[in-house]
Amino acid sequence: MENERKTDRSKETTPEESRLSDILSSSQIRATDTYETPPQIIWIDNSTIATLGNFSASTGKAKSKKTFNVSAIVAASLAGKQVLNYKAHLPEGKRRILYVDTEQSRFHCHTVLERILRLAGLPTTVDSENLDFICLREYSPATRIEVIDYALAQKKGYGLVIIDGIRDLMLDINSTSESVEVINKMMEWSSIYDLHIHCVLHLNKGDNNVRGHIGTEMSNKAETVLVISRHSENPACSEVHALHIREKEFKPFVFTVDESGLPVIADNYVCSDTPKPKQRTSFMDLSIEQHREALSAAFGDKPIRGFDNTLQALMPAYEAIGFKRGRSIMIKLLQYLTDNLKLVIKRDKLFYYDMTPAEAILFDEE
């Protein structure tokens, strides 16, 4: 009897096993299952750029008018009409929009809110019941995530969520673990609450790659990535084209800001044939600033012991700035950094990054 009792106890399911069993069961895709096509909610011309249950992004360099572009997307979704080249329709029960700004002051956030209402044809003296605008500038990345999580858990019928400054949901833009966690949050929120999340992220100053490891993850997982850039002929105008899109590509368009401070289509400008950013063919094409950005991430303020350890540190750091290569190329890169650029110094078995005085002061302060 004693042996039987021991055997029975050994077959009991633990809480962790039950949890994993539930996840396994709910995650299985069966041939007999039926799934509805995700509702399309935002279009440019006849190309779908946003569906419920997914996330997308706008990216561009400083002063490219990214927030003006996002304002048009929100206004089109709020009013259910075309604004710039965006057409939108949020389904019944998903008509509400949550706009989260992590960068700007409350004054500037209010300016964006007023612009959205004007673009949507709504009064600026009355709060819209379908638009919640929150400013999280003064809070930590962890608190910002908690607040967004809490807001969505209230199940207020949000169909579209804007996160203007996804970089501010993390401490280190080049952190692999933080990037994965933030992107997983995007996928979790969009899936669980059946909504669409549109994020705003900057491009690198030196090239047309999305900033940091978070940019790489975003480009790999997002439904659509839009690029907003200054027009080649007139910097007062901005051009919108697709960096990545699952649907068919749309024709790029140009907008400007009129005298009343609203974005409008610039009909007299032809879009420059902006090519998609291509992977660089040589590490010698990278600027010194790009090398220093990658080396700062790889080395920090300490040397690295051993050739292989240095290579392992360099690979993700260079991938974060858009230069992803295998071991053989990275070996040549390390030799180039050591022999030609003199940015890396080898003494015995230690490799040192020769950082700038400004970087050294920054590390000393930390």
What residue segments make up the domains of the chain, in order of their start? Answer: 40-265, 283-365
> Could you count the other beta carbons within 10 Å of the beta carbon of residue 267?
9
Query: What's residue 210's pLDDT?
Result: 64
- What's the CATH number for 283-365? 1.10.10
Going by their DSSP bridges, the two strands 263-265 and 253-257 should be labelled as antiparallel
Cβ atoms of 360 and 242 within 8 Å: the answer is no
Q: Which of 195-199, 223-227, 318-322 has the highest mean pLDDT?
A: 195-199
Assign 271 a pLDDT band (cuts: 50, 70, 90): low
Which of 84-93, 125-134, 314-323 comes out lowest in average pLDDT? 314-323
Cβ neighbours of residue 154 under 8 Å, at least 6 residues apart? none
pLDDT (0 to 100) of residue 152: 94
Is residue 42 within 8 Å of residue 86, measured between CB atoms?
Answer: yes
pLDDT at 282: 83
Least confidently predicted of 1-10, 122-131, 199-208 = 1-10
Across 139-148, 166-175, 315-324, the highest mean pLDDT is recorded for: 139-148
Both tokens assigned to 14 = 């633990």
The second-level CATH assignment, the architecture, of 40-265 is 3-Layer(aba) Sandwich (3.40)
pLDDT band at 131 (very low <50, low <70, confident <90, very high): very high
pLDDT tens for residues 100-117? 999 888 999 999 999 999
Query: What is the pLDDT, as a whole number, of residue 208?
Result: 54
Q: What is the per-residue pLDDT for 212?
A: 67
User: pLDDT confidence of 194, banded at 50, 70, 90?
Assistant: very high
Q: Is the dihedral of CA 245, 247, 249, 252 positive or negative?
A: negative
The residue that leads in pLDDT, 135 or 36, is 135
**Contact of 87 with 43, CB cutoff 8 Å:** yes
Distance, CA of 25 to CA of 29 (rounded, Å): 9
Where residue 364 falls among pLDDT bands split at 50, 70, 90?
very low
